[in-house]
Amino acid sequence: MAKTALVTGSSKGIGRAIALNLAEAGYDVAVNYNSDEAGGLDTCEKIRAMGRRSIAIQANIAKLEDIEKLFREFFAEFPTIDVLVNNAGITRFCPFLEATPELFEQVISVDFRGSYFCAQAAARNMVEHGTQGVIINITSNHQIGHWPTANLYGPIKAALNKFTEHAAMELGKNGIRVISVAPGYTIIRDEQLRRQERGAKNPLAEKIPLNRFGTADEVGKMVAQLCSNPGAGYITGTCLYMDGGALLANVVETQIEPAVWPVTEEMKQAREEERARQRAAWKKAMEEEEAQLKQSEESKA
Ligand SMILES: NC(=O)c1ccc[n+]([C@@H]2O[C@H](COP(=O)([O-])OP(=O)(O)OC[C@H]3O[C@@H](n4cnc5c(N)ncnc54)[C@H](OP(=O)(O)O)[C@@H]3O)[C@@H](O)[C@H]2O)c1
């Protein structure tokens, strides 16, 4: 029988790439989505087209009752679980002085509490059935890097990574491995990927030692290797950074956010003007690049 996997937040982005790569590696994969049903069903269809079993389960992992439903539906289809990937997450940046309890609750309930209780549900089944499974937590290089306005996202990803270490320690005796994968700047949309593949210049990417952004497929392939490659069998309680060296180079988060958040009206206005200037410059560069591309395609034709 094929091994089974559940990937939270696999309706799009990195989660979808992980689900497809696990299917490629021979797993039957349950897809989880929250709001994007079409995306969830599409991932599911793609997995089935690869000859693997798949179901798509709607569940908002910010809600504990939805996590129960997620695993109830998973275990109705697959009696045991070999791999859980806690990928679902929301990325919210906000100046500390403006952060609200609602924002705090929103981020922590998905990015930490949701992953924690999904891991618990999966681990209980693994222990009960003697499955030497794998739990992967998708964190971020923000867990140790310090970027402006990431005062919530960064610490919460750090907490998730710390949880990886504790869970690995407690579950090791059952042969269950728990690993963090921490991506850096990762392209999650097709049009961005096409731009990078055709060599479009990006000033931020140029600051990364590998001179480009990472791709969702690279994260998917690495997660599949960590789960299925026998050479990874002794890896647990640690974190694999996949950020092209961005942490080494202290690459700043964006081109437009100042390191110190503007707190006066004058500073806010100056920031808005700078943003507008940057956006206009960016738009112009994109238009020029598109025109050049069109011209070279026409001259080839
Ligand atoms: N992209 C990057 O550069 C990057 C870098 C470092 C780390 N990461 C981490 O990688 C993970 C995936 O990010 P991504 O960039 O692929 O984001 P994305 O394209 O926005 O996808 C997010 C996924 O999470 C799901 N999700 C969000 N809230 C959920 C909830 N409450 N319950 C269940 N599912 C939920 C979404 O489902 P619906 O669409 O169905 O709502 C979607 O499938 C996140 O944990 C993120 O922190 C990303």
On whether residue 35 sits in a domain, the answer given is yes
On whether residue 96 sits in a domain, the answer given is yes
Q: Tokens 């609200």 map to which residue? A: 100
pLDDT of residue 257: 45
Could you tell me if 156 and 281 lie in one domain? no
Say if residues 135 and 86 touch (Cβ distance below 8 Å).
yes
Strands (E), the chain: 4-7, 28-33, 54-58, 83-86, 134-138, 177-183, 186-187, 214-215, 239-242
Could you tell me if 148 and 294 lie in one domain? no
Q: Which atom of ligand 1 is nearest to the CA of 214?
A: 3
What sign has the CA pseudo-torsion 29, 30, 36, 41? positive
CA distance 223 to 19: 9
CA distance 170 to 164: 10
Could you tell me if 234 and 282 lie in one domain? no
Q: Which of 242, 270, 290 is the last residue of a domain?
A: 242
Distance 181 CA to ligand 1 centre (A): 14
Task: Give the contacts of 195 (CB within 8 A, at least 6 positions apart).
Answer: 202
Could you tell me if 230 and 285 lie in one domain? no
Could you tell me if 182 and 77 lie in one domain? yes
Q: Which of 27, 33, 116, 153 is catalytic?
A: 153
On whether residue 156 sits in a domain, the answer given is yes
Is 33 close to ligand 1, i.e. is its CB under 6 Å away? yes
Distance 98 CA to ligand 1 centre (A): 23
Q: Which atom of ligand 1 is nearest to the CA of 62?
A: 31
Is 12 close to ligand 1, i.e. is its CB under 6 Å away? yes
Q: Which atom of ligand 1 is nearest to the CA of 14?
A: 16
Measured in residues, the chain has a length of: 301
On whether residue 255 sits in a domain, the answer given is no
CATH number of the domain encompassing residue 20: 3.40.50.720
Tell me the CA distances in angstroms from 16 to 31, 150, 239, 299, one per residue in order.
8, 25, 21, 37
Is 110 close to ligand 1, i.e. is its CB under 6 Å away? yes
Domains of the chain: total:
2
On whether residue 252 sits in a domain, the answer given is no
Could you tell me if 219 and 266 lie in one domain? no
Give φ, ψ of 272 to 5 degrees: -60, -40
Could you tell me if 28 and 91 lie in one domain? yes
On whether residue 154 sits in a domain, the answer given is yes
Could you tell me if 294 and 184 lie in one domain? no
CA distance 293 to 301: 12
Could you tell me if 268 and 298 lie in one domain? yes
Could you tell me if 52 and 139 lie in one domain? yes
CA distance 227 to 130: 17
Could you tell me if 32 and 159 lie in one domain? yes
pLDDT of residue 172: 98
Distance of CA 205 to the CA centre of its chain: 18
Q: Which of 207, 242, 277 is the last residue of a domain?
A: 242
Residue 88, helix vs strand vs coil = coil
Distance 188 CA to ligand 1 centre (A): 10
pLDDT of residue 201: 79
On whether residue 284 sits in a domain, the answer given is yes
Could you tell me if 103 and 212 lie in one domain? yes
Distance 88 CA to ligand 1 centre (A): 5
On whether residue 293 sits in a domain, the answer given is yes
Output the pTM of the full model: 0.88
Is 145 close to ligand 1, i.e. is its CB under 6 Å away? no
Q: Which atom of ligand 1 is nearest to the CA of 110?
A: 31
Residue 185, helix vs strand vs coil = coil
Range of the domain at 120: 4-242
Q: Which of 209, 242, 275 is the last residue of a domain?
A: 242
What's the Rg (C-alpha) of the chain? 21
One digit per residue, the tens of pLDDT, for the chain of length 301 reads 899 999 999 999 999 999 999 999 999 999 999 999 999 999 999 999 999 999 999 999 999 999 999 999 999 999 999 999 999 999 988 889 988 999 999 999 999 999 999 999 999 999 999 999 999 999 999 999 988 889 999 999 999 999 999 999 999 999 999 999 999 999 998 888 888 888 887 888 888 999 999 999 999 999 999 999 999 999 999 999 999 999 998 776 554 344 444 557 777 787 778 777 877 776 777 777 777 777 777 887 7
To the query of whether residue 153 is one of the catalytic residues in this protein, the response is: yes
